[in-house]
């Protein structure tokens, strides 16, 4: 496991093509569309991270994270995938653990959400529990007392970026104490950030409507990233 490292792809563009091919082997899309999606990755969400085996220099996994507009300090994880050749070796769990560390250290994230159809047990082993669906791209207005700031000093700015409204405090101390202190922070840090990517496309319409109610075919799950022992 010590050979596996999770890297933000916008600092490692050399892995772009390989990552696009890896994801497309699981969820087919045109290469151009996939590369465009990966190219939106930035420090302030959405962020695409690749799991690289440093011994072979091969990309073996990927996950994408976005901010949840409606819930302070919450993130939404998607497109989690381990290359078929390497599944069942604990690498998916390692990817998720390194991702959780990254989200706590870099963003002080409190809660991670995701939705899945079929991988519930995998996520439950990592400490996720089932929850109600959450609005990802807007919906419920935030309570008035959360509009300008939240308890962690993060500014909430609806105009900052269409894609997310929560700007982490620029002065966040990346060395702050977390549940896991054995983390190499330097790999997440660069002296200058690349430009932010364009806003993501709008939410697709719900797949099914029954008696006027949306029916979610996926299971939503969540995990507290801080204040609980890691699995
Ligand atoms: C889900 C996925 C990322 C897991 O990666 P992985 O490297 O195979 O996972 P791990 O080897 O870390 O699995 C950890 C444990 O969960 C178990 N596990 C893995 N997938 C499971 C599943 N679908 N159901 C139940 N248990 C599962 C493994 O057996 C292992 O158990 P163990 O620790 O007792 O041996 C991988 O299977 C994958 O890429 N699937 C296709 C894409 C996908 O469905 N992604 C999720 C989208 S929500």
Q: Decide: 39 in ligand 1 pocket, CB within 6 A.
A: no
Closest protein CA for atom 14 of ligand 1: 90
Q: Decide: 91 in ligand 1 pocket, CB within 6 A.
A: yes
Tens digit of each residue's pLDDT (9 = 90 or more) over 143-171: 444 433 333 323 333 223 333 322 333 33
Q: Decide: 117 in ligand 1 pocket, CB within 6 A.
A: no
| Per-residue pLDDT at 217 | 86
Q: Decide: 185 in ligand 1 pocket, CB within 6 A.
A: no
Tens digit of each residue's pLDDT (9 = 90 or more) over 67-110: 998 999 999 999 999 999 999 999 999 999 999 999 999 999 99
Q: Decide: 218 in ligand 1 pocket, CB within 6 A.
A: no
pTM: 0.73
Q: What is the arithmetic mean of pLDDT over 188-193?
A: 49
| Per-residue pLDDT at 1 | 78
* Cα of 140 from ligand 1 centre, angstroms: 33
Could you identify the atom of ligand 1 that is nearest to the CA of residue 27?
42
Q: Decide: 26 in ligand 1 pocket, CB within 6 A.
A: yes
- Compute the distance between CA of residue 96 and CA of residue 91 in angstroms, rounded to an integer: 9
Q: Decide: 220 in ligand 1 pocket, CB within 6 A.
A: no
* Cα of 92 from ligand 1 centre, angstroms: 6
| Per-residue pLDDT at 173 | 34
With a cut of 50, say whether residue 229 has pLDDT above it: yes
Q: Decide: 89 in ligand 1 pocket, CB within 6 A.
A: yes
Q: What is the arithmetic mean of pLDDT over 183-195?
A: 51
Q: What is the arithmetic mean of pLDDT over 192-216?
A: 60
Q: What is the arithmetic mean of pLDDT over 192-221?
A: 65
Q: Decide: 80 in ligand 1 pocket, CB within 6 A.
A: yes
| Per-residue pLDDT at 35 | 98
With a cut of 50, say whether residue 115 has pLDDT above it: yes
With a cut of 70, say whether residue 224 has pLDDT above it: yes
Tens digit of each residue's pLDDT (9 = 90 or more) over 20-65: 999 999 999 999 999 999 999 999 999 999 999 999 999 999 999 9
With a cut of 90, say whether residue 222 has pLDDT above it: yes
- Compute the distance between CA of residue 172 and CA of residue 52 in angstroms, rounded to an integer: 27
* Cα of 94 from ligand 1 centre, angstroms: 11
Q: Decide: 79 in ligand 1 pocket, CB within 6 A.
A: no
pLDDT band at 194 (very low <50, low <70, confident <90, very high): low
From 88, 121, 219, mutation site for ligand 1 pocket: most ligand atoms within 8 A of C-beta: 88
Q: Which domains does the chain have, with CATH numbers?
A: 1-138+206-231 (3.40.630.30)
């Amino acid at each position: 496991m010590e050979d596996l490292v999770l890297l933000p792809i916008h600092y490692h563009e050399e892995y772009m093509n390989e990552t696009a091919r890896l994801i497309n082997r699981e969820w087919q899309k045109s290469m151009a569309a996939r590369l465009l999606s990966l190219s939106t990755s930035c420090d302030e969400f959405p962020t695409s991270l690749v799991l690289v085996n440093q011994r072979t220099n091969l990309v073996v996994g990927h996950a994408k994270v976005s901010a949840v507009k409606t819930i302070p300090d919450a993130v939404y994880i998607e497109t989690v995938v381990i290359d078929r050749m390497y599944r069942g070796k604990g690498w998916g769990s390692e990817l998720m653990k390194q991702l959780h560390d990254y989200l706590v250290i870099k963003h002080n994230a409190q809660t991670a959400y995701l939705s899945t159809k079929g991988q519930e047990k995998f996520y439950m082993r990592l400490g996720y529990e089932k929850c109600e669906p959450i609005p990802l791209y807007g919906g419920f207005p935030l309570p008035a007392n959360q509009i300008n700031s939240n308890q962690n000093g993060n500014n909430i700015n609806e105009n900052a970026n269409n894609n997310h409204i929560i700007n982490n405090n620029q002065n966040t101390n990346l060395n702050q104490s977390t549940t896991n202190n054995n983390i190499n922070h330097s790999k997440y840090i660069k002296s200058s950030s690349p430009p932010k990517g364009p806003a993501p496309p709008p939410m697709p319409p719900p797949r099914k409507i029954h008696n006027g109610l949306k029916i979610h075919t996926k299971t939503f799950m969540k995990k507290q990233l801080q204040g609980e022992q890691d699995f």
